[in-house]
Amino acid sequence: MPKVGIIKGVLAKDIEVVGDKVVNLRTCARPYRNMYSVAQLRALKNIIQKYGSGKVHLSPRHNLEIPEVRQKEIDNALKELYIAGLFPGGAGTSVRNIFTCPDWCSRQIRPVQEIGKMVSMRLGDKDMPNKVTISFAGCSNSCSRPHNSDIGVIAIGRVSVKDGSCPDGCDGCFKICKFDAIKKVNGTIRVNDNCIHCAQCVEVCGDDMLSIQEAGFRVLMGGKEGSSVMFGREYASFVDDFEVLEIIEKCLRNYGAKAGLRPESSRKKERLGEVIARLGLEAFMN
Amino acid sequence: MAGGILPGRIQNRVTLRVRSVEPYSSELTAEQVGVIADIAEKYGSGIVHVTPRQTVEIPDIEEAYVDDINILLNGSGLYTGSSGRHLRNVIACSRWCLYNAFPITDLALQLNRRYRDRILPGKTNISLSGCDFSCVRSRTSDIGVIARADIELTDKKCKKCSLCVKEPLGCQVDAINVSDDGVSIDTDRCIRCGFCSNICKPETIRVRLRSFDIFLGGCGGIKPREASYYKSISSEEEVLAVIDNVMSWYEELADEGERMRDVIARTGLEAVGG
């Protein structure tokens, strides 16, 4: 079982350094599939009462962090967690919890929960030069923050316009587009090159004039947020599920091989975005 | 849809987005975990989703039962909320993290209690980070706060335990040197995360001054943007006052649906004043 996820903790307010005696235990479901079951919640409740201090911190990457677990009881706590399908993880220089938006959101262009689960199974907690965040979004609303993840995958849709005319005065699609990508030209609707394929115009069209003719994934690389912000660069567009998996695996292989030490650091390796900034995206992926 | 009741994947079903306001907002108590489990089992489909804004979503709830469920939730300090054109759940990083210039969960809790679901021109995210690493993404939020701890060396003798530099934890920016002569700090490299002062038992390293950096106008979504640095302030009370001021400015100047990012693009940060 991976040892990552046991973060030695201290209550900063009391400045009481308990050092090795008490830990902050970060747990998550493996493989991660974006949800917890009732059984897992009930097991968690017992565990935090028995081994912790009756609280669980909700981490920003869907982990459940159990604070104040006594060091000598960790093995027992872990055993009970394993039975519930919860494991220490999602910490350190490794692949963190895979973010996906939930399948029950009505806006999704493609469901991403299953592909996220597959990536979690193959790559979750794998050792990396530095932390790696991978996020899947079912649409361009990007609730799972793919633009600021090491690898971001966004479901997109190519819009097609039906022959015929729209109802008089209807301007829903023009109003919703944030990129000036859809306009009326000589009486017909035209989609131009500004389009990012978010398909929000399709969603808002009440008259079936617009539809998605092709759906796929856009893959971004090199984003991060935290101590500094970088936005992912587009590597591929309109690729399907299996291509996405291949791209992710290749990306992480290259990252492992090409990451160096951060400038002026004796121990910290570059984040993926920093390697890509140094080499260029194409050279990085070759 | 209003107040944490989101359209579901099946007709007549909704997803409830649940947040905690008592006794904590970044943590759930054992009792609250039990209540959520019971609701998911009895009224939902046995699963929940933990969101990046420290709320829990329970899908597949029949609308007719929402009132009953609210009574169960409210009884243990839980409420539906954090959706739509409102102030969303104010999030904070863990107060048990060693890299912690300030236990900022208390501030998040105060904000959540004071402004819960306040109606604003657009969805608004406030994220409070205890240190520069900003795990809760203060640099890409509408209002981001990052706590800082300026540290100093005292005359207490360094015991050379080296916890301030020892891997895998220790100073992450090589700002500390422990040698036979004791400990020295490179303040140019220091990111003021407070780790060394938290871990130093003999108090050779101590916090000299705490402050908070405020960032405005960041966002994720379809057109993500990094926040702009706004100002630094020195006390919790001032943080609350500044956030109050910023929200008033936003309410006054924003068109319906605009995010802070859009208002800043139009008027500049100077218009925020204060």
CATH topology (fold) of A158-212: Alpha-Beta Plaits (3.30.70)
Which residues from B are below 8 Å from A105, CB to CB?
Answer: 9
Which residues from A are below 8 Å from B59, CB to CB?
Answer: 102, 104
| Domain definitions of chain B by residue range | 5-80, 91-148+211-272, 151-208
**Interatomic CA distance for residues A284 and A255, integer angstroms:** 8
In the predicted model, what is the mean pLDDT of residues B49-59? 93
ipTM of the modeled complex:
0.93
Exposed, middle or buried, B9 (CB in 10 Å: 0-12/13-18/19+)? middle
Strand partners, A58: A64
Which residues from A are below 8 Å from B139, CB to CB?
Answer: 225-226, 228-229
Tell me the pLDDT tens digit for each residue of A93-103. Answer: 899 989 998 88
Span A99-156+217-285 CATH architecture: 2-Layer Sandwich (3.30)
Q: Which of B61, B146, B222 would best serve as a mutation to test chain A binding (most A beta carbons within 10 A)?
A: B222
Q: Does A21 touch chain B (CB under 8 A)?
A: no
Q: Do B30 and A48 touch (CB under 8 A)?
A: yes
Domain spanning B91-148+211-272: which superfamily?
Answer: Sulfite Reductase Hemoprotein, domain 1 (3.30.413.10)
Provide the token pair at B81: 């909320």
The class that CATH gives domain A6-88 is alpha beta
Q: Do B136 and A60 touch (CB under 8 A)?
A: yes
pLDDT of residue B80: 96
Q: CATH number of the domain at B151-208, out of 3.40.30.10, 3.50.50.60, 3.30.70.20, 3.30.420.10? A: 3.30.70.20
Contact between residue B148 and residue B213 where contact means Cβ atoms under 8 Å apart: yes
pLDDT of residue A19 exceeding 60, the answer is: no
Contact between residue B39 and residue B73 where contact means Cβ atoms under 8 Å apart: yes
Band the pLDDT of B133: cuts 50, 70, 90: very high
Helix (H, G, I), strand (E, B) or coil at A245: helix
Tell me the pLDDT tens digit for each residue of A80-135. Answer: 999 999 988 888 889 998 999 888 887 889 999 899 999 999 998 899 999 999 99
Q: Which of A57, A70, A108, A140 would best serve as a mutation to test chain B binding (most B beta carbons within 10 A)?
A: A57
| Domain definitions of chain A by residue range | 6-88, 99-156+217-285, 158-212
Same fold yes or no, B5-80 and B151-208: yes
CATH topology (fold) of B5-80: Alpha-Beta Plaits (3.30.70)
Nearest to B40 among A38, A140, A231 (CB): A38
* Residues in CB range of B271: below 8 A, 6 or more apart: B249, B253, B263, B264
Tell me the pLDDT tens digit for each residue of B86-100. Answer: 999 999 998 888 888
Tell me the pLDDT tens digit for each residue of B153-191. Answer: 999 999 998 989 987 778 989 999 999 888 999 999 999
**Interatomic CA distance for residues A13 and B146, integer angstroms:** 16
Same fold yes or no, A99-156+217-285 and A158-212: no
**Interatomic CA distance for residues B225 and B236, integer angstroms:** 27
Which residues from A are below 8 Å from B97, CB to CB?
Answer: 7, 9, 12, 24
**Widest CA span in chain A:** 76
Q: What residue in B sits closest to A143 (Cα-Cα)?
A: B221
pLDDT of residue A17: 38
Which residues from B are below 8 Å from A9, CB to CB?
Answer: 94, 96-98
Distance of CA A163 to the CA centre of its chain: 38
Q: Do B33 and A24 touch (CB under 8 A)?
A: no
pLDDT of residue A266: 85
pTM: 0.93
